[in-house]
Amino acid sequence: MITTITIFLPLVGVLLMLLLRSADERTVRYTALGVAAAPLLLSLYVYFVHGGDLRGAPLLTQSFEWVSSLGIGYRVGLDGLGFGMFFLSALLTLIAVAASWDIRENLRQYFAILFVAEIGMLGVFAAQDLILFYVFFEITLIPMYLLVGVWGDENRRRAATRFFIYTFLGSTTMLAGFLALGILSGPEFSVVTLTEAGGTLSRAAQVAIAVPILLGLLIKVPAVPFHSWLLDVYVSSPTSTNVVLSGILPKLGTYGLIKIAVPLLPQGVEPFLPYVAIFGVINIIYGAFVAFMQPDLKALVAYSSIGTLGFILLGISSGNALGLNGAVMQQVTHGLYSALLFILVGIIAARAGTRRIDELGGLAARMPWAGGLLVLGALAAMGVPGLAVFVSEFMSIMGGFETFPVQGVLAALGIVLGAVYLLHMVRRVAFGPIERPALQEAGDAGPIEMAAIVPLVTLLVVLGVFPSLIVSVQRPAVEAVLAAIGGS
Amino acid sequence: MVTGQTFVGLLPEIVVFLFSITVLMVGVFLPRTTGLTTGLAACGTLATFVVTVVLLAVRFEGNFFGNGYVVDDFALYFKLIVAVSAFFAVLAAARWSGETGDAPEYLNLILSVALGGMLLVSMRDLFGIFVAVELATIPSYAMVAFDRSRRESSEGGMKYLLTGMIASSILLYGIVLIYGAGGSANLGDLGQTFSGQLSPVALLGLVLLISGFAFKVSAAPFHFWTPDAYQGAPTSAAAFLSVAPKAAIFATLLRIFLEGMPEAATTWTVVLAMLAIMTMFVGNLLALRQRNVRRMLAYSSVAHSGYILAAFAALQGAGLQTAIQAVLIYSAAYLTMNMGAFLVIDLVGEEAKSYNGLFTTRPGVALSMFVFMAALVGIPPLSGFWGKAWIILAGVQSGSILVYVTVGALVVNSVLSVPYYFGIIRNMFFEEPVTGAEEPKGLGAAKFSVYALAAATTLFIFFIGPLAALVGASGLL
């Protein structure tokens, strides 16, 4: 019951935003903050009360048969695989609300749409039914389309349209795969039942079904040949939309791989795993090279964010405990650091009036907090030990190396490349002389802005020092996935 | 033998018939009473709805007139769809027909089409089916041509009339051939004699029958009348005719195929699969080029006929039950989203440009139109998604390669349809508002219909469970 309540709590926010017709901006913002805090508090409650019990089988479940003749039902529950992202969805929505200082027009509508997206995000990571998973998966799509298209920059229309067509194409193919999977194995759409049954279909059928599902999920991630739509979207979005877009949406794809594709179609996915690893490596290396060439700070961060998704793909493809744990954790840490960098870019661009790297410079002197945190964010993105991203990337690479040595080595090389472009960026943006007159009198990040940043930095540091806080929760669930695919 | 039971079984039809006569008479004897006649017509459709719901609730069943007329859950369900769409058509017609002063006649036509559709879904005799089809279509020609102030209306009505007449004669020819080959026009008897090995005469009859019905549901290549008729017709007529008669004809097709010729399933599923694939592509590809929202929705309705026909192709193997569910769910879903989209035209306009910036100027209408467009694309959890999902489910269950191809075409077409539906959303949300666009006055009833349909489209998810259960109990299996 608590899971259902948490998922649909943002609905209250949607209604409040529609009702607060004559309220001033301040009231709207504080109401939205209050509503956004509620799911976060509930998921913290789940963590501290039930965290130890989040085993392989989902906890706090609720289910009822909906169309019994087809085995379709409303089934939700939290397990170690989804909980990290469930928590992060609630956290990043709250941060997106806080970071919405650049949204001036139609603020109520902005928050209402954001809350609809939150329902979808929370729902995906708690869904235990294929149809329900798909429904929540798609509920995130339209709000994101509107957030980008209405509140983005001048290129927003094209970006939003391409975003929608690509992801809809991906999710429709995925749906066809889901429906085929559910019908042929019963009909039965419960993820738990299907995982326990563990690939009852023939190998050929599994492969045939795995193709559309993998394709749809890889478009969603996006893996590199399918990525062209994402850059426009990242660059055109307002800062607070970026937080959710980069932090959560790609994880819908990777989570689908871990939660559904791998355990439900073990034999079907197996022949494609080397290619998934290759996709991961391409993401890492291609992302690093292209990021290095970007003159625009936001585009650099966008490519960095797309690139490091590759570690998740590599970890998933490994099929061993180390790699999968790394992938599940990287989903969270990647969300933390890319949200942090996008917010900082937003702050810096607003102060300087430009995002061009060669026009910036000397930020650390004028804005010690923002500049310093930019350095910290870059270090996190590089995977420097002591910060959370290091742990998850390291586990993904080691796991990947065990199964696919070549891809593992190349991915490790990607870390070096990442260091090159990130340090290059930091040197030009944070240090050196101040070139832009607008920056001469720019103030540092204000209290609201710091409030949006601090939780992210804190988590990056705390999880870097105590990774077991998250790994202990996810490990039993990862072992259940390994049991389903018959690995070690 | 006519007994009391017969009257109970015919109660929905009797109610709608009485109200249609009353509306006409009130119009004759009390001129200038648009409000009264509209209220009467709305009450009539509501009363029909209530009677049908009661019959459904008490699980009334029966065969009348020598097995030629059946009342079962399946028929009652489609009568509900017809009654609900007639209700919204009456509401939408209120303002427009009030201006011209022809309200009683127009409302009478709506109720007559509804009567024809409701009789049609209960018919179990090929000739009875033909008569009911004509009863549903002849008033609709007049409805399309009713707007005398616009030339397009007469043009569309004329085209509709000519093609419709040809279609009817083809349909009748097909019926006669099947009657000759099968030895009976009654679907129950036909089912006994109509074997899997079709004689050439029977095959020709089947193809002609399907062609005739394809005209009526505007399936390609028999769809040419659709855009002109829908563009010329008053909005309420286009909205109503794209839903109610179509749903009734799909229902009767189900009955003909499943009761009258189950043995020949291998033949008609192939024909319908071809028809479905062609219709989906033609509808969507032509809709992509439209700038006029009415024409766009007309082609979209062609495409959606294709989607429903895809469910017919899946009426085989293990997919039978799910495919019937799909037709039922899709018909209801289509009522909510398509009717809503058409009715928005009355509120906003038919040029795509007039939707610019609607999100800022009239957020309620914009949000409703958004819901309809997203539902027509098939975005969950809106109504259209469930229709498409059920068709894919049925297709996968059927286990036939041709059906897999058809379902694949459906998936491709869903993506293909995104640009034109989302073109409207894009205009509403992303563009700057048109200056000086004043909200027309006196649209209370139409606005209520749009909001009610938008709510139904959004909350459709809650109807799925009961709907799926209803099919299990329907008289078809």
Rounded Cα distance between B95 and B443, Å, is 7
Q: A201 touching B, CB under 8 A?
A: no
| Cβ pair B468:A70 closer than 8 A | yes
Predicted confidence (pLDDT) at residue B477 exceeds the cutoff of 60:
no
Predicted confidence (pLDDT) at residue A123 exceeds the cutoff of 90:
yes
| Cβ pair B322:A70 closer than 8 A | yes
CA dihedral A219, A225, A228, A230 (to 10 degrees): 40
Predicted confidence (pLDDT) at residue A68 exceeds the cutoff of 80:
no
Q: Worst-scoring range by mean pLDDT, A55-59, A455-459, B238-242?
A: A55-59
φ/ψ of B267, rounded to 5, equals -75, -55
Residue A148 near residue A231, CB atoms below 8 Å: no
Q: What is the mean pLDDT of residues A389-397?
A: 92
Go through chain A and tell me how many residues it has. 488
| Cβ pair A179:B392 closer than 8 A | yes
Apex A162 CA angle, A161 and A165, nearest 5:
85
The amino acid at A473: V
> What is the structure's pLDDT at A145?
92
Predicted confidence (pLDDT) at residue A487 exceeds the cutoff of 70:
no
Predicted confidence (pLDDT) at residue B434 exceeds the cutoff of 70:
yes
Residue B118 in tokens: 């409701």
Rounded Cα distance between A338 and A133, Å, is 25
Residue B173 near residue B206, CB atoms below 8 Å: no
> What is the structure's pLDDT at B472?
63
Predicted confidence (pLDDT) at residue B372 exceeds the cutoff of 80:
yes
> What is the structure's pLDDT at B439?
66
Residue A160 in tokens: 């939003």
Rounded Cα distance between A173 and B330, Å, is 20
Residue A213 near residue A181, CB atoms below 8 Å: yes
- The average confidence (pLDDT) of chain A is 88
Burial of A79 (0-12, 13-18, 19+ CB in 10 A): buried
> What is the structure's pLDDT at A226?
80
Rounded Cα distance between B117 and B136, Å, is 6
Apex B170 CA angle, B168 and B174, nearest 5:
115
In this structure, the number of other CB atoms found within 10 A of the CB of residue B29 comes to: 8
Which of B418, B427, B471 is most worth mutating to test chain A (most A CB atoms within 10 A of its CB)? B418
Torsion sign across C-alpha atoms A34, A36, A42, A46: negative
How sure is the predictor about A332, in pLDDT bands with cuts at 50, 70 and 90? very high
DSSP B434: P
Residues pairing with A127 in the sheet: A76
Residue A217 near residue A256, CB atoms below 8 Å: yes
> What is the structure's pLDDT at A198?
67
> What is the structure's pLDDT at B67?
83
Q: What is the mean pLDDT of residues A229-238?
A: 88
| Cβ pair A106:B360 closer than 8 A | yes
Residues pairing with B71 in the sheet: B62
Minimal-distance CA residue of chain A relative to B381: A135
Predicted confidence (pLDDT) at residue B436 exceeds the cutoff of 80:
no
CA dihedral A295, A301, A306, A308 (to 10 degrees): 120
| Cβ pair A156:B430 closer than 8 A | yes
Residue A221 near residue A313, CB atoms below 8 Å: yes
Burial of A471 (0-12, 13-18, 19+ CB in 10 A): buried
pLDDT tens-digit map of B283-333? 999 999 888 999 999 999 999 999 999 999 999 888 888 899 899 999 999
Rounded Cα distance between A208 and A193, Å, is 21
Q: Which of B231, B350, B355, B255 is nearest to B312 (CA)?
A: B255
The helix or strand, by DSSP H or E, that contains position B436, with its residue range, turns out to be none
> What is the structure's pLDDT at A139?
92
Residue B214 in tokens: 């394809």
pLDDT tens-digit map of A184-218? 887 888 888 888 776 678 888 889 999 999 999 99
Residue B106 near residue B233, CB atoms below 8 Å: no
Q: What is the mean pLDDT of residues B352-378?
A: 90
> What is the structure's pLDDT at A244?
93
Minimal-distance CA residue of chain B relative to A64: B465
φ/ψ of B314, rounded to 5, equals -85, 5
> What is the structure's pLDDT at B304?
95
How sure is the predictor about A144, in pLDDT bands with cuts at 50, 70 and 90? very high
Residue B130 near residue B116, CB atoms below 8 Å: no
Stretch 88-117 of chain B: residues touching chain A, C-beta under 8 Å? none
The helix or strand, by DSSP H or E, that contains position A72, with its residue range, turns out to be strand A72-78
User: What is the percent of chain B with per-residue pLDDT over 90, rounded to a whole number?
Assistant: 56
Residue A180 in tokens: 């085929």
pTM of the predicted model as reported, rounded to 2 decimal places: 0.91
Distance of CA B381 to the CA centre of its chain: 22
User: What is the percent of chain A with per-residue pLDDT over 70, rounded to a whole number?
Assistant: 97
Residue B240 in tokens: 């109503």
pLDDT tens-digit map of B223-235? 889 999 999 898 8
Stretch 317-346 of chain B: residues touching chain A, C-beta under 8 Å? 321-322
Of residues B396, B414, B430, nearest to A150 (C-beta): B430
Q: Worst-scoring range by mean pLDDT, A140-144, A255-259, A369-373, B29-33?
A: B29-33
The amino acid at B246: K
Residue A241 in tokens: 């939309």
User: What is the percent of chain B with per-residue pLDDT over 70, rounded to a whole number?
Assistant: 95
Q: A326 touching B, CB under 8 A?
A: no
The helix or strand, by DSSP H or E, that contains position A375, with its residue range, turns out to be helix A368-382
List Cβ neighbours of B273 (8 Å cut-off, separation of 6 or more).
B310, B313, B402, B403, B405, B406
How sure is the predictor about A312, in pLDDT bands with cuts at 50, 70 and 90? very high
| Cβ pair B464:A67 closer than 8 A | yes
Residues pairing with B287 in the sheet: none
> What is the structure's pLDDT at A488?
40
List Cβ neighbours of B50 (8 Å cut-off, separation of 6 or more).
none
Interface predicted TM-score (ipTM): 0.88
> What is the structure's pLDDT at B400?
87
List Cβ neighbours of B157 (8 Å cut-off, separation of 6 or more).
B141, B142, B144, B145, B146, B229, B232, B233
Taking CA atoms, B88 is separated from A230, B82, B238, B375, B462, in Å, by: 42, 10, 12, 19, 21
Residue B184 near residue B242, CB atoms below 8 Å: no
Extract long-range pairs of B11-14: CB within 8 Å, 24+ residues apart. B11/B51, B11/B55, B12/B48, B12/B51, B12/B52, B12/B55, B12/B76, B12/B79, B12/B83, B12/B118, B13/B115, B13/B118, B13/B119
Residue B283 near residue B220, CB atoms below 8 Å: yes
> What is the structure's pLDDT at B111?
95
